[in-house]
Chain A
Amino acid sequence: MLVEFDLIQRAQSGDDGAFNQIVLAYRKRILGTITRLIGRPEDVEDVGQEVFLRLYFSLDQLRTPEVFEPWLYRLTVNAAYDYLRRQRRRNEPRMADLSEQQVIMADAAAGGELDQETQRRTKLREYVQELLGGVPEQDRILLMLKEVEGLTLKELEKIYKVNENALKVRLFRARQRVLKAFESSQKAKAGSAE
């Protein structure tokens, strides 16, 4: 944990300064996770604030220190999932769904202003998000928490309150779908190279 449980207890008893310190300690990690889950940089702070808002009003439900981080991750997953569902309801087509930053970057890239490394990173992120596009949102988030965020099955068990075997099955299925899409894209690339 990044903070002492004493700080959390003080926040629970209404010490807003203590809650502020919790936000400062976890902000970067949570925003990083949200960035990788939702893929739209301009909405990351809004979703991040939603996470901490929910944390503020649910702090009194925490009893022991061990559950704090899984609980915070749970709130992050729920907020990201709610965001993705709202986006889907707005029917924004994935391929045409360029965020403002992506549009700016596309313009800059066209003008040769972006360095190669930035372009490479952007293409890589878009490629992975495309591969993950075929997986249902809940499973996509689960897979990213495991494969990208590096959470263990035990940690995921605490977050999802589902037993390890059930998680393994869902992860396996989600990963197989991504693997299939990955292999197809590799074959297509190899075919076009020839």
Chain B
Amino acid sequence: MQQQDRNPEQELDSLFQSYRAASPEPEASARFTPLLWERIEANRSFTFSMRRWTQTVVTAAAALCALMAILLFTPREPAALYAATYVEVLSDAQAPDVLAYVDFEQGELGNR
């Protein structure tokens, strides 16, 4: 009979309430707040240093980009070499006998 009267849900609720009552409400130690502020200060300095380093890197990168843009888009005198076309450059570079067709003797190819 006693088993049937038991309500596990209610017993579990009661257990949770007892757990709450059995758990101490801790008092913070005297060092709690000073240590907290130490951590806040440490975090602040770290964040400040990171921000300054990031700003330096971004500024340097922006300056480098600007310099490269200036160098790339500054008009220059074209080199004499590049005034010619590709074919003209090739023909100037090669000796005439290299470019000449090689005449085959009729017999060499086996023609009859």
Residues in chain A within 8 A of chain B (CB atoms): 16, 20, 23-24, 27-28, 31-32, 35-36, 41, 44-45, 48-49, 52-53, 56-57, 120-121, 124-125, 128, 131, 147-150, 175, 178-179, 182-183, 186
Contact = CB atoms under 8 A, between A and B. Distances in A.
B12 A49 contact: no
Interface residues of B, number: 26
Most buried by A among B8, B35, B36: B36
B16 A128 contact: yes
Q: Is the interface of A mostly helix, strand, loop or mixed?
A: helix
Nearest to A30: B28
Contact of A32 (B12, B22, B26): B26
Contact of B9 (A56, A120, A150, A179): A179
Contact of A182 (B11, B20, B26): B11
A147 B16 contact: yes
Given A35-B24, A44-B26, A178 B12 contact: yes
B28 A179 contact: no
